[in-house]
Amino acid sequence: MHMYMQRLAICLLVFAFVLSGCTVAPVQPAPTIDAVTATETPPEPEPGRLTIVDVRARPAPLAGGTGAVYFTVLNGLDRDVQLVSASSPVAKVVETHETVSENGVMKMIPLPDGYEIPAGEALVLKPGGKHIMLIDLVKPLQPGDEFTLTVNFDNGESFELTVPVLDMQMTMPMPDAQHDHDQDHGDAKAEDTSHDHGHGDAEMKEESRSHDHGHITHSEATMAAIQALPISAVHKLDEALHAGEAIDLNAALETVHELKEKLDATSWPEELKEVVSAIRAKVEALHAALSNNDLNAAKALAAELHDLLHQLEGHR
């Protein structure tokens, strides 16, 4: 009996030891993009380091169109740093941008000097604010895709990030999926562990199939019509005019004429008619300015037209 009790006691101790190493923490739901971007309190910077968290890009189903990358930079250094530039093989042009409101109209403006991150503080790139703009995409960016983005700072540090393309309903990587410059520049990779892509698994094989972007659903025909617009050519014209470069007036007029023809050849859904009407008005005004060789007027009109075309892309 005494031996039996000893064995029982030993078994109970072993069982308790095993259980103590197998405690299961309650599973918390991962935040969605909406939840993460809504927060105004980023994590505390780690002293002595620059780190990047919450990396993601929005879907951009149009080759030749634009995309956007968002993330948070945590500056744990004892000095201010400037995010000065970024580059990626998925876009011909990568710029630092900010969305601002002017007279009640949302506009995207380039910030060629980049963004300052004060010592001990954070820079939050998010929809409706500062963001990395991908211009003239070489391929569509579908939910579930990944691509690389190199981010450069004025202190000589660079980070190569692996950017997941996330649907608005896809889960975000948790904040501990950081990109640490002390680990070979991080080989940064924010992983999307969710397989619930909402509409992201759609293979776009049927003409009648539609894509749900937020609360607006567009047909394949509308998506193709937006993709067919010479947005990249308008962007280049806008840049050339603002840089004071000599432009080929005939080529510029051809771009404007092509844009007008493709706008007129499309039956636009009701929710896009307002922005398309505004684009048409700018197209007519820009055509007149270029025809009269009034480059000052053309410069302002090209910028406004460029912004409106980006707004149209944002309704995808």
Please write the tens of the pLDDT for every residue from 143-173: 999 999 999 999 999 999 999 999 844 333 3
Same domain as 126, residue 245: no
CB 186 within 8 A of CB 52: yes
Query: Containing domain of residue 41, as a range?
Result: 33-189
Maximum separation of any 2 CA atoms in the chain, in Å: 110
CB 124 within 8 A of CB 38: no
Average pLDDT over residues 280-305: 85
Same domain as 240, residue 147: no
Within a domain: residue 135?
yes
Within a domain: residue 196?
no
Beta strand spans in the chain (E): 50-57, 66-75, 81-87, 91-102, 105-110, 115-117, 122-124, 130-137, 146-153, 158-164, 179-180, 188-189, 210-213, 216-219
pLDDT score recorded for residue 204: 33
The confidence band for 81, taking pLDDT boundaries of 50, 70 and 90, is: very high
Within a domain: residue 59?
yes
pLDDT score recorded for residue 200: 36
Same domain as 57, residue 170: yes
Handedness of CA 92, 97, 101, 103 (dihedral sign): negative
DSSP letter assigned to residue 90: T
Same domain as 37, residue 185: yes
Same domain as 162, residue 55: yes
Same domain as 242, residue 148: no
Same domain as 178, residue 55: yes
Same domain as 281, residue 133: no
CB 117 within 8 A of CB 73: yes
Amino acid letter, residue 248:
D
Average pLDDT over residues 29-52: 65
- Phi, then psi, of 56 in degrees rounded to 5: -165, 160
pTM of the model: 0.51
* Number of domains, the chain: 2
Same domain as 133, residue 82: yes
Same domain as 49, residue 180: yes
The confidence band for 192, taking pLDDT boundaries of 50, 70 and 90, is: very low
Closest CA to 278 of 232, 315, 227: 315
Within a domain: residue 148?
yes
Domain boundary among 189, 207, 240: 189
Q: Which residue has the tokens 């190199």?
A: 150
CATH number at residue 278: 1.20.120
Domain boundary among 173, 189, 205: 189
The confidence band for 88, taking pLDDT boundaries of 50, 70 and 90, is: very high
Task: Name the pairing type of β-strands 50-57 and 66-75.
Answer: antiparallel
Looking at every residue in the chain, the average pLDDT score rounds to: 74
Q: What is the pLDDT of residues 206-218, one digit of tens each?
A: 333 333 333 344 5
CA distances from 286 to 15, 259, 291 (A): 80, 11, 8
Q: Name 83's bridge partners.
A: 115, 153
Within a domain: residue 284?
yes
